[in-house]
């Protein structure tokens, strides 16, 4: 594949190396406003690169203006932040080109979300808390992955709502609350925990990312599948369905 990289931070540096190790070519990079020594051609529009697929590990300020243009190149998008706007734009683009979106490119996180759905159907009387931990350079909180897990929980628990800060709450916890916590420190790659708690018992579901390569490999696997797909909006729920 000829791959266009959108953004050239840590994640797409890793993606480029793994892609070239696997025999793919990097067609170029779009990284406006980023001060990097980039060893690939620079582009300002997605289709200019004439790539087979574009892989985005950037931020809304970069990807959203690019989606204002007509885009025919298949898109693998992993931007977190401003999720509603990003997905709305991608839905528009999916009318003319295949688009894959995931707030977390790890397939294991997709499995975590599926396990969560099952647990929610069986543990409706348990209090629910969610927590994520990431490195100290991550700017958005809670993470896009935790937002996805929270959305799953909210959809399965009628009347539930998130609580992000208990410092001003001076009363006992309500059953409808879903606690949401974010921790930032050091070089933590990414950990997501879902805690179900009831009298005398606790059930925890956890996913730990032990290297950033799992996200890059996930994006490359999605890209390899996406280039053979018809225009549509894809995620891990439908990407690998038989054509």
Alpha-carbon gap, residue 219 to 214, rounded angstroms: 9
- Ordered DSSP codes for 28-51: EEE-TT------S-B-SSTGGG--
Neighbouring CB atoms inside 10 A of 68's CB total 9
Active site residues: 134, 138
Which of 5, 76, 79 has its CA nearest to residue 42?
Answer: 5
Neighbouring CB atoms inside 10 A of 87's CB total 16
53-56 and 75-77 beta bridge pairing: parallel
Q: 177 to each of 128, 158, 161, 164, 180, how far by Cα in Å? A: 7, 11, 5, 10, 9
């Amino acid at each position: 594949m000829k791959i266009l990289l959108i953004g050239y931070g840590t994640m797409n540096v890793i993606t480029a190396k793994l892609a070239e190790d696997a025999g793919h070519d990097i067609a170029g990079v779009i990284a406006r406003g980023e001060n990097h020594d980039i060893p690939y051609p620079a582009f300002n529009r997605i289709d200019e690169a004439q790539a087979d697929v574009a892989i985005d590990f950037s931020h809304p300020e970069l990807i959203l203006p690019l989606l204002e243009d007509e885009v025919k190149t298949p898109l693998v998008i992993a931007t977190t932040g401003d999720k509603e706007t990003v997905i709305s734009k991608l839905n528009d683009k999916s009318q003319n080109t295949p688009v894959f979106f995931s707030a977390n490119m790890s397939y294991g996180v997709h499995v975590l979300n599926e396990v969560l759905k099952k647990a929610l159907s069986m543990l409706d009387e348990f209090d629910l808390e969610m927590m994520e931990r990431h490195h100290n350079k991550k700017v958005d909180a809670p993470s896009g992955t935790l937002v996805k897990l929270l959305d799953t929980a909210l959809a399965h628990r009628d009347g539930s709502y998130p609580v992000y800060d208990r410092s001003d709450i001076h009363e006992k916890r309500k059953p409808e609350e879903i606690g949401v916590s974010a921790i930032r420190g050091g070089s933590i790659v990414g950990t997501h925990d879902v805690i179900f708690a009831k009298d005398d018992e606790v059930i925890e579901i956890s996913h730990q990312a032990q290297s950033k390569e799992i996200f890059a490999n996930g994006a490359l696997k999605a890209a390899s599948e996406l280039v053979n797909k018809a225009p549509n909006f894809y995620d891990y729920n439908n990407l690998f369905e038989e054509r």
